[in-house]
Structure 1
Amino acid sequence: MQDLKQINSNLHKRKPFWLFLFISILCFLIWFLNQPAKNFNIQILPEKKYEFTAERNDQNSYVSQWTNLSAEELKAKINNLLIDKQGEYGWLFYSIKDNYVLGENYDKTYPAASINKIPIVVEYLRQVENGEQDLGEVYTLARKDVQDGSGTLINQQFGSQYTYQDLVSFAGKYSDNTAVYVLAQKAGIDKIQAFVSSRKMNQTNIEDNTTSAKDMTLLLIDIYNNKIFQNQSDKQLFLDSLTQTEYEDRIPAGIPANVQVVHKIGNGIQIYSDCGLVLAANPYGLCILTEGIKESEVLEVVPKISQMIWDFQFQRKL
């Protein structure tokens, strides 16, 4: 029979193992409970940056490739460009000065991907105007908020601090999934959807992450026409956040380099879309949504459509 001293000795030998096991389980639980929330589906794939091979010439030296093009000819050229391409394209061109519109499949519902970051940011800024939110409020980066995919915040240290104005800029410039997740939680998904529904954006659903070229173009046009923001500084923050972004490979690639293009791209599985405002002398909105496309085709086709629209509008001399 073991004496008392031997038993105590054996117990002391086992303590480190049980202590180690307890600490390991505790650490795992803490890690698990602090994992990022993944339910907020704004971005399916990380955004990619591409180089468009055509030069973006200065507006003053720009020479149109399609002069004296009628609306019917423009639409036919775009349709011919797309006829043998994989997937579906929906697009809408809206000339702001004369409310002239042209498009195809613009009422059809498409996956929005990151393009639905537009109404999220817009509703947050509307709440700023109403005194419900404060752009100067400080946000501290937390593990639970970090979202996979595009953006700069995913690479920053937890505990880093930013103003909510920074988050608005990140959501536009970098298509930052974490920034827009925080803004959406702050503004409230229900309130964002209520804003969308109040505008009769019938194809736009924040939780399902869908939209249409018509819904998004008309929202951007109303922002330009001061029908959304009363405070010009909020409007300017929105426009600036979507100018000269990390992703200039679609609509901007077909526009002269010194023309401001305010736009938001959206990437997903077989989805490479872009919606924006071209702020030239004859300003216009343009939204090109895609589904089931081939990446190599769309990154050639969308800049060409953008250039055709620019040439058409450039010659109209409104």
Structure 2
Amino acid sequence: MNEKLLEERILDAIDKCKGRISVAIDLPSHSIQINSDTPYSAASLIKIPILLECFRQSEHGKIDLDETVMVPKEYRVGGAGVLSTLSERISLTVEDLLTLMIIVSDNTATNLIIDRLGSEAINNLCNSLALKHTKLSRKMMDFQAMKQGYDNFTSASDIITCLRSLDQGTLFSQKSRDKMLYILHQQQFNTKLPARMDKDKIYIANKTGELPGVEHDCAIVRSEEKTAYIVVLIDELDENESARDTIAEIGKLLHDYLTKPNL
């Protein structure tokens, strides 16, 4: 499958989607951009720049990934994750909190990391990467802030920039990049981009995001010497299941492009 056919098949998949959809894919010698500069509610994709900023601060000695953080009951929030359900006396390292933030999208872990880093620092990281639409305006599960009109935003093109920076940018050492990739590769939510991929043929490191009416996924995908960066954002949904199917179909098309070039 060549790049033109891949784009045509992705457009066919998009035509069946009942929501508003944005797709960005960076291939070794080609880029597919479909509404990629459109802002969306970030949902849990905002956790990608939070991850980057934490490792940036680690590189500069402002935070120790092995530092132990208490998880007080009063700081725990619902939604995705496990910390809100565990026993009262818990302490985890910063790296453990980052891992939970990514692989099970733990909202309590995320809020503890935001407090430790500072929202301003996270947004400064977004500015330093020249992200056009990405901003952290509230913590996870902050319904009061949401009622007041505060939300977290991003775009497909911005998340592509984040993935590229994480994977090969000069902002981080090889050690930090390897650690971040390892965390993303342990992702437990695999019903979207990875759902129809053959894990024996490709390496995938991804992060999902979802809210009522919103389904996102982003990933770094490798097959032999080829690397692709992909982001799919969908909102304005009456129900979420069909959007997950659309994202899985787009993931399968990318998988086939990388592993079956003559398809």
TM-score normalized by structure 1? 0.74
Secondary structure of the 1:247 match is: coil
> Within 2, Cα distance between the matches of 1:195 and 1:116?
12
> Within 1, Cα distance between the matches of 2:83 and 2:124?
28
Secondary structure of the 2:63 match is: coil
> Within 2, Cα distance between the matches of 1:276 and 1:168?
17
| Counterpart check, 1:115 vs 2:57 | no
Q: Does the Cα contact within 8 Å between 1:254 and 1:305 map onto a contact in 2?
A: no
Q: Does the Cα contact within 8 Å between 2:212 and 2:240 map onto a contact in 1?
A: no
State the 1:136 CA deviation. Answer: 1.3
Moved more, 278-287 or 78-87: 78-87
Would the alpha carbon gap of residues 84 and 276 (structure 1) be closer, same or farther in structure 2, given more than 3 Å must change?
closer
Q: Does the Cα contact within 8 Å between 1:151 and 1:175 map onto a contact in 2?
A: yes
Please give the per-residue CA displacement for 1:224-279, whole angstroms capped at 9, x wherever unaligned: 1142311x332222112111322011111132122221111001011111011012
> Within 2, Cα distance between the matches of 1:125 and 1:295?
33
| Counterpart check, 1:77 vs 2:9 | yes
State the 1:310 CA deviation. Answer: 2.0
Gaps of 5+ in 2: 138-150
Gaps of 5+ in 1: 1-68
Residue equivalent to 2:189: 247
| Counterpart check, 1:271 vs 2:214 | yes
State the 1:137 CA deviation. Answer: 1.0
Q: How does 1:1-318 map to 2 (within 5 A)?
A: 69-95=1-27, 97-98=28-29, 100-207=30-137, 208-230=151-173, 232-258=174-200, 259-281=202-224, 282-293=226-237, 294-316=239-261
Equivalent AA in structure 1 for residue 258 of structure 2: Q
Residue equivalent to 1:5: none
> Within 2, Cα distance between the matches of 1:235 and 1:168?
14
> Within 2, Cα distance between the matches of 1:153 and 1:236?
25
Residue equivalent to 1:55: none
Q: Does the Cα contact within 8 Å between 2:2 and 2:261 map onto a contact in 1?
A: no
> Within 1, Cα distance between the matches of 2:205 and 2:65?
21
> Within 2, Cα distance between the matches of 1:283 and 1:84?
27
> Within 2, Cα distance between the matches of 1:315 and 1:223?
27
> Within 1, Cα distance between the matches of 2:2 and 2:210?
32
Q: Does the Cα contact within 8 Å between 1:124 and 1:184 map onto a contact in 2?
A: no
Q: Higher Cα Rg: structure 1 or 2?
A: 1
Secondary structure of the 1:273 match is: strand
Q: Does the Cα contact within 8 Å between 1:139 and 1:164 map onto a contact in 2?
A: yes
Q: Does the Cα contact within 8 Å between 1:244 and 1:261 map onto a contact in 2?
A: no
Would the alpha carbon gap of residues 280 and 73 (structure 1) be closer, same or farther in structure 2, given more than 3 Å must change?
closer
TM-score normalized by structure 2? 0.88
Across the aligned residues of Structure 1 and Structure 2, the Cα RMSD in angstroms comes to 1.6
Secondary structure of the 2:134 match is: coil
Aligned length: 246
> Within 1, Cα distance between the matches of 2:60 and 2:228?
29
